[in-house]
Structure 1
Amino acid sequence: MPESIVHGLKGQGLEMDVLTGVPNYPSGRVADGYSAKRASVEDRQGVRVRRTPLFPSHNSSPMKRMANYLSWAVSSTLWGQGALRRSDAALVYSSPATAALPAMVSRVLWRKPYVLLLQDVWPDSIFASGFLGGRSSRAVFKLVDGFVRRTYAMADHIAVISPGMVDLLVDRGVSRNKVTVVYNWLPESEPVEVVGREPIREELGLPGGTRLFLYAGNHGRAQALEGLIDAFTDPATAPAHLVLLGDGVSKPDLVRRSADSSRIHFLDPVPYPEAIRIGAEADVHVVALADEPLFAVTMPSKLQSALASGSPALVVAPGDSADIVTKHGAGFAARPGDAASIASAVNEFNALDHTSLSAMGARGREAYERLMARDIGAGRLAELLRRAATRRRTKGADAVTSTDTEKEKP
């Protein structure tokens, strides 16, 4: 579970324990000082963290990834019941969907309620990403879907990260009154100062008057960046330049695709402070996702980063992400994979003066503060947990146990 959620809930006055796995995300390698075969307990900034064994893996092998998910679900169910029994309510950070298993067992054994914080919709996400397929996929889909629907039924409440997820769950039989939108928020951090490198425009030798668009993140199939590349290869989008910061399986093909363009620049991943500096120099932040039904209800963290930066956003994605930006006048949207649509949106930005761009970015920042800031999201989650605990609690402390598996980030 991201520490930003834990600290956000602590800031709302809740006492937290964390039940999680041995740290191995995102590389699949167990962090120094830990063992994948041994449970441990530690204190992190006043929060008791109980880690249980798992099979460490985050590669492309479906069998190994499922072994990762299932091994932690079983170990946390066995070793975590003491903490769950002492809690008033549990918060399940899901994905993966198997993270709900210990809370489900606690619900049966001790009648302890849990709130499900849904980051991805399973089984849709594992099939849309190509994680599972083949002749056995239909049987796997039914098995996972049946388990997921049970997690919904047993949950006291379900928090989702986008409005579209509400409609999706309602279509699958979940009561609308049982679902609440709680947008993810960004970790709060101290301002950073980066020295030792020239500003990115000078470093890349960009001419004066350049409108700089920045895409920062994974270069994979799910991002469908080919249309974005084609739009900036088109002479009609000059003088805009595109910087792509990051890495991914599609990057070599994207580099080849843009070989004839002098307005597309690739940068390797950099430390977080430097990424912040580069982002501050961009005129427009780009959010990109493929045109898939699941992604229409996905709210990638890059959207929050774009809005919070105070810069306008170009959203090359379907559904909720585009709706947030266009509704609040924080940028423009384009159809994924449609170079002409993307080029048209780029030229809308090109036609704006700096005052108009700044006003657009300010509206995005205001939308983030009003909808997605930590106090807003954490306040909603805390209220859902308190309601769950109140419905069940007859006595005891105001302790909330948060369950999770792979995605705790130091």
Structure 2
Amino acid sequence: MKKRILVISQCFYPEQFRINDISQQWVKRGYDVTVVTAIPNYPQGKFYDGYGLRKKRTEEYNGMKIIRLPIVPRGNNPIMLCLNYLSFIISGFFWSKFTKLDVDYVFNFETSPITQSLLGVWYSKRKKKPYYLYIQDLWPENVESVAGVKNKFVLNLIGKMVDYIYKYSTKVLATSESMVEAIKSRGVPQSKLEYLPQYAEDFYKPVDINNVDEEIKMQIPSTNREGKENFNLIFTGNIGYAQGLDILPKVAQILKGENLSKNIVFNIIGDGRFKSNLVKMVDELGVTSMFNFIDRQPAIKIPQYMGLSDVAVLTLTDNKVFAMTIPAKLQSYIACGIPIIASAQGETKNIINSANCGICVETGDEVAFAQSVKKLMVLDKGELNKLGSDGQEYSKKNFDRELLLNQMDLYFQ
């Protein structure tokens, strides 16, 4: 008889998160998978076409059953975001109390907000099933450092909720060693904690430029209109406030006045709440010609964009939470064998240095970032490829999908 897994994740297909692939791999491994999620609306803040309060509330996708709870879309302001979080808890509460679904394991893919994890606790307590919590975002630290909440009463309240969730978790899995230590400091026993990094889906791999679609080649041109060679830097993913992308227009402004051998282009692929601000900042600093904004693309196409690019960009804002975080795009980048230039600290910096796959400067240091761009520009193709291949080797040794999925299977046993 198939073992049954209930996956809880506020974001799921067609939203692009790694839990999509984890769930599909479980189906291939013989599990019966049911996903409880929300109506898709991330990151643009409105329901995806074809979905709504009365449309596609249940769905089957690649062998999985998907149940979509009614929510308020995230919108583009803090009030709507709070309503989005709250509506999922309310919908989840009633679902957990009245559902007849019976499973063997409950697995919660916890991106912000951690409030979504209450649904997993309520269901697992009622049904007396083991509950596995996979931490992507650390709370209450995330609320304090990222959202800027300083009210002690509010933080203590969130802290008590977090402790309640940890208490009723069978296992707490965290995506970095630093997160494991932070959770342990809250009194969670070591026997309940495990380090389980994210992996990159198998379509993240180097792509031969000859195999890239012509349409994508037109979006990432190798030369500008005057025939000067482009040095293409690429950023992919959510364009939010946490990503610290405001450094890039400042870097471009520094590089603009210099007589460089190549034409620098920052290719920004994605969508998010900060995108309009970033576009405005690029315009105000007079560096529009150095930026190429491309709409959000299916994840499976991203390796082709990387294949046409020289260097991948990873930036984060300066706070202690992000120093403990390994952003998912880092695994995607190194799996594709592309050199990285980053503005980050902590776990991200350690991996880039250990993998010898690029350059990482201090968070927010636009001068050092600009100098690093120039260093990478003068490297020949062979030297850039060596950085990329070193990163790919590190990925195979540390973020292998089969190895990590086998580890999850052991937790279930």
Alignment TM class, shorter chain as reference:
0.7 to 0.9
1:179-258 to structure 2, matched below 5 A, reads 179-189=193-203, 193-196=212-215, 198=218, 200-202=220-222, 204-205=224-225, 210-232=230-252, 233-234=254-255, 238-239=260-261, 241-246=264-269, 248-256=275-283, 258=285
Task: Determine the C-alpha separation between the residues in 2 that align with 1:343 and 1:215.
Answer: 16
Q: Aligned pair in 2 of structure 1 residues 49, 219: CA closer, same or farther (>3 Å)?
A: closer
**Which of residues 328, 351, 355 is equivalent to 1:324?**
351
Q: Which amino acid aligns with 1:231?
A: V
Q: Which moved more, 1:33-42 or 1:207-216?
A: 33-42
**Which of residues 15, 38, 42 is equivalent to 1:25?**
42
TM-score by length of 1: 0.81
Instruction: Say if 2:325 and 2:348, in contact at 8 Å, map to a contact too.
Output: yes
State the match for 1:146 in structure 2: 160
State the match for 1:407 in structure 2: none
Instruction: Say if 1:194 and 1:274, in contact at 8 Å, map to a contact too.
Output: no
Instruction: Say if 1:118 and 1:161, in contact at 8 Å, map to a contact too.
Output: yes
Instruction: Say if 2:359 and 2:372, in contact at 8 Å, map to a contact too.
Output: yes
Does 2:89 align with 1:66? no
Task: Determine the C-alpha separation between the residues in 2 that align with 1:129 and 1:249.
Answer: 20
1:97-136 to structure 2, matched below 5 A, reads 97-130=114-147, 133=149
Sequence identity percentage = 23
Secondary structure in structure 2 of the residue aligned to 1:267: strand
Q: Which amino acid aligns with 2:220?
A: I
Shift of residue 90, structure 1, vs aligned partner: 0.4
Instruction: Say if 1:316 and 1:342, in contact at 8 Å, map to a contact too.
Output: yes
Give the aligned CA root-mean-square deviation in angstroms.
Answer: 3.1
Does 2:312 align with 1:285? yes
Task: Determine the C-alpha separation between the residues in 2 that align with 1:162 and 1:139.
Answer: 28
Shift of residue 121, structure 1, vs aligned partner: 1.0
Does 2:26 align with 1:4? no
Instruction: Say if 1:308 and 1:364, in contact at 8 Å, map to a contact too.
Output: yes
Instruction: Say if 2:39 and 2:71, in contact at 8 Å, map to a contact too.
Output: no
Deviation string, structure 1 residues 203-237 (Cα, Å, up to 9, x no partner) = 63475565432233444432333434333423569
Task: Determine the C-alpha separation between the residues in 2 that align with 1:106 and 1:23.
Answer: 22
Q: Aligned pair in 2 of structure 1 residues 251, 36: CA closer, same or farther (>3 Å)?
A: same
State the match for 1:404 in structure 2: none
State the match for 2:329 in structure 1: 302
Q: Aligned pair in 2 of structure 1 residues 237, 358: CA closer, same or farther (>3 Å)?
A: farther
Q: Which moved more, 1:27-36 or 1:308-317?
A: 27-36
Q: Aligned pair in 2 of structure 1 residues 244, 5: CA closer, same or farther (>3 Å)?
A: same
**Which of residues 255, 265, 268 is equivalent to 2:291?**
265
Task: Determine the C-alpha separation between the residues in 2 that align with 1:11 and 1:30.
Answer: 29
Task: Determine the C-alpha separation between the residues in 1 that align with 2:364 and 2:135.
Answer: 28
Secondary structure in structure 2 of the residue aligned to 1:48: strand
Q: Aligned pair in 2 of structure 1 residues 237, 171: CA closer, same or farther (>3 Å)?
A: farther
Q: How many residues align?
A: 381
Higher relative CO (CA 8 A, sep ≥ 6), structure 1 or 2? 1
Q: Any unmatched runs of 5+ in structure 1?
A: 388-410
Q: Any unmatched runs of 5+ in structure 2?
A: 1-11, 13-18
Task: Determine the C-alpha separation between the residues in 1 that align with 2:123 and 2:198.
Answer: 26
Does 2:102 align with 1:86? yes
